[in-house]
Amino acid sequence: MRQIPRAALIVAAALAGAGTAQGQGFPSKQLRFVVPFAAGGTIDIIGRLLSPSMSKALGQQIVVEDRPGGGTVIATELVARAPADAHVILLMGPSYTINLFARKLPYDTERDFAAIARLAANPLLFSVHPSVPARTIKELVALARNKPGELTYATASPTGFQRLAAEQFKLLAKIDIVNVPYQGGGPASIAVMGGHTTINFGNVSEAAPYVANGRLRAIAVTSLERSDVMKDVPTVHESGYPGYEATNWFGAVTRVGAPKAAIDRLSAEFARALDTPEVKSGLTKSGLYNAYLNPERYDEFLRQQFRANEKTVKATGMRME
């Protein structure tokens, strides 16, 4: 999954040609990448990495628009109410497939959107302020058991993938730590650096710069293999909790009813941009990797995520009213 298969590139090229032939009028105006988190988070990073190359290829400017708030609902509703012409695109992550089971929504997630592409992925990271007396996941668990209900952990949203993965780890490790949600990974990291929360449980891409400059201490990553940008940081899997894995993914959807030719053109341009040297380098530096799926495969993936997350939300009791 770290590289686009050669066959996918061939399909992407074919789709680009098909999109041009069938949808000469697309795009006919400025495009918007709507991001449901604050600036500086992983989805914002991905959007800003992709937009220059895609703007040039599509012949229209792409604006990256951060719309945090409501646990990603504000941005998602904006796209659900946009014209069905594929010019307004939601860049999203797993919270998109979790929220409908954890809260009431002003839209139907499964019916109001059309899949464009899965784009990238990265593991999560347990990190703490350097003053916290824990350097390993076992020490962090021991600290939490000594102070049940006292330690807090920051996440990018109240019902996103980070929260879900943390709740799963809480069950596995038998600890009681309290979630403090923020409006993005950037604000969550800043809160831990400021001592407002104990633990940062977020994307490697968001925390890595602060680990590098010593403002956060990395404890463990959630992939089965170590992160390429944090090779010295052990995994949770190898730190006493075999089999634990949590990988965050990011993709693009638009309002349902958008022309298939427009969706196929966008998906092909996403695939092409992800394979450019500039974007490859930017992803790697941020601890991300290419996880492209075309519209059909991404739609299937999303439906699998809906079913899996429905079960997990029920098992953990995670809700936001």
Q: Is the pTM of this model over 0.85?
A: no
Give the pLDDT of residue 316: 74
Q: What is the pLDDT of residue 147?
A: 96
Instruction: Give the chain's domains with CATH numbers.
Output: 6-122+248-316 (3.40.190.150), 123-239 (3.40.190.10)
Residue 295 in tokens: 């519209």
Q: What is the β-pairing status of strands 31-35 and 62-66?
A: parallel
**pLDDT score recorded for residue 320:** 61
Helices 204-212 & 185-193, crossing angle to 10 degrees?
30
Beta 113-128 vs 289-293: how paired, if at all? antiparallel
SS3 177: coil
pLDDT at 236: 97
Q: Quote the pLDDT of residue 315.
A: 78
Give me the pLDDT at residue 2, please. 43
Give me the pLDDT at residue 159, please. 77
Question: How far apart are alpha carbons 159 and 98 in whole angstroms?
Answer: 7
**pLDDT given at position 313:** 84
For the chain, where are the alpha helices, taking DSSP H only?
A: 6-22, 42-58, 73-80, 95-102, 137-146, 161-173, 185-193, 204-212, 260-274, 277-285, 295-316
Walk along the chain (321 residues) and give the pLDDT tens digit of each residue.
344 455 555 444 544 444 444 446 899 999 999 999 988 889 999 999 999 999 999 999 999 999 998 889 999 999 999 999 999 999 999 989 999 998 899 999 999 999 999 999 999 999 999 999 999 999 999 999 999 999 999 998 887 889 889 988 999 999 999 999 998 888 999 999 999 999 999 999 888 899 999 999 999 999 999 998 899 999 999 999 999 999 999 999 999 999 999 999 999 999 999 999 999 999 998 889 999 999 999 999 999 999 988 988 887 777 765
- List, as one string, the DSSP characters of 28-75: -S-EEEEESS-TTSHHHHHHHHHHHHHHHHHTS-EEEEE---GGGHHH
